[in-house]
């Protein structure tokens, strides 16, 4: 069954059909183009505005913002305290990160506890600080298993934690959004925020990875 079924066209995945060489992908392309054209002609969307939204997520709004937040938290204990208290407010004091709205919450990894974020019901994700989520985060395997067997999921990302370290999974079932503050790698004393930010991977801020080590080795892939 394909998404076209509700228009009476059953274009199954990977099978040839009446449109010959036209793939399901191009069916979707046509459908998207049609919707955009009609909405634009009727005055509901402005195509230049759509371009600007796409450009924002392809350039300005991505995990580089979250990495700067984490680096600041590692480097500045006062900022770390403010971030854990009220992440939305703290991030908006930074100046080098695009602004965030309400309900951002930062949770901190320690020796005792490792945090990991999921949205089992849809794919809620802290867009403002991490950009748009990777496909795996939105996939059925991650959404189904992160709450059931988080240690098994972590091991598939190359992260094995001692049993004594509690694994805490945050299911984003409301409008609160979570960013994980990974542990600061050893051997980074005296590093600048810019240097530290280079070690902060996207997965480490979702909780399916750890920050990179200063020798350049990744611990999460």
Partner 1 sequence: MSNTIHDMGGMHGFGPVEEEANEPVFHTKWESRVYAMNRAMGPLRLWTIDEGRAAQEALHPAVYTNASYYQRWLLGLEARALQHGLVTKDELSSGKALEENDRPNRIFKAEDAANLTRSSFDRDPQGEPVFKAGDKVRTLNINPQGHTRLPRYARDKIGEVEAVRGCHVFPDSVANGKGDDPQWLYTVVFDGQVLWGSDAEPGIKISIEAFEPYIEAI
Residues 39-58 that bind partner 1 (CB under 8 A): 39, 41-46, 48-58
Instruction: Tell me how far, at minimum, the Cβ of 210 lies from partner 1, in Å.
Output: 15
Encoding tokens for residue 103? 């309900």
* Active-site residue, from 88, 119, 172, 204: 119
Nearer to partner 1, 155 or 192 (CB): 155
Closest to 207 (Cα-Cα) out of 164, 163, 147: 147
Residues 65-104 that bind partner 1 (CB under 8 A): 98-103
- Is 15 one of the binding residues for partner 1 (CB under 8 A)? no
Q: For strand 104-108 and strand 177-181, is the pairing parallel, antiparallel, or unpaired?
A: parallel
Map residues 160-199 to x or -, x wherever contact with partner 1 holds by CB under 8 A. ---xxxxxxxxxxxxxxx----------------------
Nearest to 91 by CA among 56, 61, 51: 61
Q: Which of 12, 16, 34, 122 is catalytic?
A: 122
Q: Return the number of other C-beta atoms located less than 10 Å from residue 204's C-beta.
A: 27
Among this protein's residues, is 144 annotated catalytic?
Answer: no
CA 195 to chain centre: 22
């Amino acid at each position: 069954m394909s998404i076209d079924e509700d228009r009476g066209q059953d274009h199954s995945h990977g099978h040839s059909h009446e449109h010959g060489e036209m793939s399901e992908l191009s069916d979707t392309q046509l459908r998207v183009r049609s919707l955009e054209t009609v909405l634009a002609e009727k005055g509901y969307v402005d195509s230049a505005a759509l371009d600007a939204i796409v450009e924002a997520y392809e350039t300005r709004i991505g995990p580089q913002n979250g990495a700067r937040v984490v680096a600041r938290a590692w480097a500045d204990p006062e900022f770390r305290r403010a971030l854990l208290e009220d992440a939305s407010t703290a991030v908006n004091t930074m100046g080098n990160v695009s602004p965030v709205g309400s309900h951002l919450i930062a949770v901190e990894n320690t020796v005792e506890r490792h945090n990991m974020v999921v949205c089992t019901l849809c794919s809620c994700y802290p867009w403002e600080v991490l950009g748009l989520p990777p496909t795996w985060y939105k996939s059925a395997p991650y959404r189904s298993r992160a709450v059931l067997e988080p240690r098994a999921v972590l091991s598939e990302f190359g992260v094995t934690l001692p049993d004594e370290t509690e694994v805490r999974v945050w299911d984003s079932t409301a409008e609160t959004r979570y960013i994980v503050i990974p542990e600061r790698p050893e051997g980074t004393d005296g590093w600048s925020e810019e240097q530290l930010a280079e070690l902060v991977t996207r997965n480490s801020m979702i909780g399916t990875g750890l920050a990179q080590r200063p020798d350049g080795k990744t611990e999460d892939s």
